[in-house]
Amino acid sequence: MQVFLVRHAIAHERNRIRWPNDALRPLTTAGIRKFRKAAFGLASCLPKGVALLTSPYVRARETASILADAMGRAKATESPELATGESAQACFALLRKRREDAVVLVGHEPNLSNFLAAAVCGERARMKTEFKKGGAACIEFATRIEPGRATLKWLLPPRVLRGLS
């Protein structure tokens, strides 16, 4: 299975007055504009029939919606396993339930980096990655979806994705 990890685009800064519930914090206008360009580049890298899953948080849903538009799809499916604070094991369990050959996961930091490290290096790995907002990574599980079984294919910042479109 190919797994594409996408960090949500640039969101507003945390503000407990405007968004007492951080899950409601949206993307900025600049974040939307920049990710629209990156989404077309990312969409060009995705195989046909890829499943698109997103965190239920507003900023991730908005990012997934932009990507869905670039892919010519209706919308993404919300997955609570991708919410902030969920474990890497939640992502492994989510992927094991899927039957597609390729899946896009739109989520947050540090969740995505933690999952990436566990997928490539094993559960106890402490691999440091710079996962930019609006950036993406591709990993591949040749056999079982388990920690340490994935191969990192690429990790691209949004600037590079914008250049692909």
Domains and CATH numbers, the chain: 2-164 (3.40.50.1240)
C-beta of residue 140 within 8 angstroms of C-beta of residue 150: yes
The pair of structure tokens assigned to 74 is 């209706």
Nearest-angstrom CA–CA distance, 94 and 80: 10
When pLDDT is averaged across residues 20-44 and rounded to a whole number, the result is 97
Calpha distance 142→44 (Å, rounded): 22
Q: Which two tokens stand for residue 100?
A: 């597609």
Q: What integer pLDDT is reported at residue 25 of this predicted model?
A: 97
Report the predicted TM-score, pTM, of the whole model to 2 decimal places.
Answer: 0.96
pLDDT in tens, 67-100: 999 999 878 999 999 999 999 999 999 999 999 9
Q: Tell me the per-residue pLDDT of 93-138, one tens digit each, with 9 for 90 and over.
A: 999 999 999 999 999 999 999 999 999 999 887 888 889 999 999 9
pLDDT > 70: what percent of the chain? 99
Asked whether 32 and 40 are in contact (CB, 8 A), the reply is no
88-97 and 111-121 are packed helices; what angle lies between their axes, rounded to 10 degrees? 70
